[in-house]
């Protein structure tokens, strides 16, 4: 179908976008890459009065090193930009690997981080990466600027803690373990994942000093498997703790049955993806 009628306004900075959002009280929508919003408009799932185009705002496109070793990535940075960023590839190699799973080239050429986070699809890569990397999300609204931790940001499927008048400005990434594993299963290359897992490991003297495990596509939000993480610390990766982590991942998820896969199969995948990601991360950490 074709989109319903709406007005269009091109914002030249975030403040203008916030003012326009505020003035329309819930009847306006931001459009960044449009790769999630346009399908919804074409299906007429939404009928906003106004679209506020933020895709030309230069300040949302920065990738820079902030204070205390954090990287700040603007909300308007596209999936494509991450794939080609050397600096981010060095500090967070998992990002690049994960981006190859986000849709297809033509979608990655438009879709943005901010749009992905705000859309809050539990099967999408960015929400899970934000949770895995302990990211903070910087937002601006009429009442000012605030930082939201990723763990408090995703409230449910397509539901986040953003207020109606807020725009995401950037995602802040603190330093994180570099050794990574990322696996997902999708029906075809570029489709949304049925299930996926990401792992980050830090080692000291051959033992795991920090472990992080997160899942996507396995519940209403992305999921961190905190219990399994704590149990791996201070140990080598071995068949016993690997199996325990896989079980913990399976227990942490609450997937749904749909056209593409049963809940049972997704739980099975949660274990397998976690195991493979642990192996990959461990292999890197000890070499």
Partner 1 sequence: MLNRRTITLNVNGEAHELEVEPRHLLADALREGLGLTGTHIGCEHGVCGACTILLDGESIRSCLLLAVQAEGHEITTVEGLGDSNHLNFLQQKFREHHALQCGFCTPGMLMTATELLNQRTSLTERDIRDALSGNLCRCTGYDHIIAAISEAIAETSGAGP
Ligand X SMILES: Cc1cc2nc3c(=O)[nH]c(=O)nc-3n(C[C@H](O)[C@H](O)[C@H](O)COP(=O)(O)OP(=O)(O)OC[C@H]3O[C@@H](n4cnc5c(N)ncnc54)[C@H](O)[C@@H]3O)c2cc1C
Among 31-39, 129-137, 245-253, 259-267, the segment contacting ligand X (CB under 6 A): 31-39
Binding of partner 1 by 45 (CB under 8 A): no
The entry of ligand X, partner 1, none that residue 189 binds, CB within 5 to 8 Å by partner kind:
partner 1
Binding of ligand X by 35 (CB under 6 A): yes
Binding of partner 1 by 2 (CB under 8 A): yes
Residue number, 47 or 235, with CB nearest to ligand X: 47
> What minimum distance in Å lies between the beta carbon of 255 and partner 1?
23
Instruction: Please give the structure tokens belonging to residue 69.
Output: 């070793």
Binding of ligand X by 3 (CB under 6 A): no
Instruction: Please give the structure tokens belonging to residue 220.
Output: 């209403």
Residues contacting residue 125 through CB under 8 Å, at least 6 positions apart:
98, 99, 101, 102, 116, 193, 196, 216
Q: What are the angstrom distances between the C-alpha of 244 and each of 218, 232, 238, 248?
A: 18, 9, 10, 6
Chain positions 236 to 275 lying near partner 1, rule: CB under 8 A, are none
Residue 145: how many other CB atoms lie within 10 Å:
11
List strands edge to edge, sheet with 71-74: 63-65, 71-74, 167-173, 136-141, 144-149
Site string for partner 1, 97-116 (x = CB under 8 A): ------xxxxx-xx------
Residues making contact with partner 1 (CB under 8 A): 1-8, 31, 34-35, 38-39, 41-43, 51, 53, 55, 80, 103-107, 109-110, 188-190
């Amino acid at each position: 179908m074709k989109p319903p009628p709406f007005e269009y306004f091109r914002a030249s900075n975030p403040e203008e976008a916030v003012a326009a959002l505020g003035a329309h009280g819930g009847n306006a929508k931001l459009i960044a890459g449009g790769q999630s919003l346009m399908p919804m408009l074409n299906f007429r799932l939404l009928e906003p009065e106004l679209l506020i185009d933020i895709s030309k705002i230069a300040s949302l496109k920065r990738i820079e090193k902030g204070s205390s070793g954090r990287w700040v990535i603007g909300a308007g940075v596209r999936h494509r930009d991450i794939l080609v960023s050397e600096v981010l590839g060095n500090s967070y190699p998992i990002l690049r690997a994960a981006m190859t799973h986000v849709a297809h080239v033509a979608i990655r050429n438009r879709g943005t981080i901010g749009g992905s986070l705000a859309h809050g699809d539990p099967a999408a890569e960015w929400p899970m990466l934000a949770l895995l990397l302990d990211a903070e999300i910087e937002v601006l609204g009429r009442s000012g600027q605030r930082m939201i931790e990723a763990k408090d940001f995703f409230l449910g499927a397509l539901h986040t803690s953003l207020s109606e008048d807020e725009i995401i400005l950037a995602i802040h990434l603190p330093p994180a373990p570099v050794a990574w594993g990322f696996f997902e299963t999708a029906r075809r290359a570029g489709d949304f994942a049925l299930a996926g897992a990401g792992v980050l490991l830090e080692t000291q003297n051959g033992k795991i000093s920090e472990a992080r495990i997160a899942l996507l596509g396995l519940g209403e939000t992305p999921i961190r498997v905190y219990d399994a993480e704590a149990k791996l610390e201070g140990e080598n990766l071995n068949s016993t703790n690997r199996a325990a982590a896989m079980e913990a991942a399976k227990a942490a998820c609450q997937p749904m049955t749909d056209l593409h896969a049963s809940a049972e199969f997704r739980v099975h995948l949660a274990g397998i993806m976690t195991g493979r990601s642990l192996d990959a991360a461990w292999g890197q950490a000890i070499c």
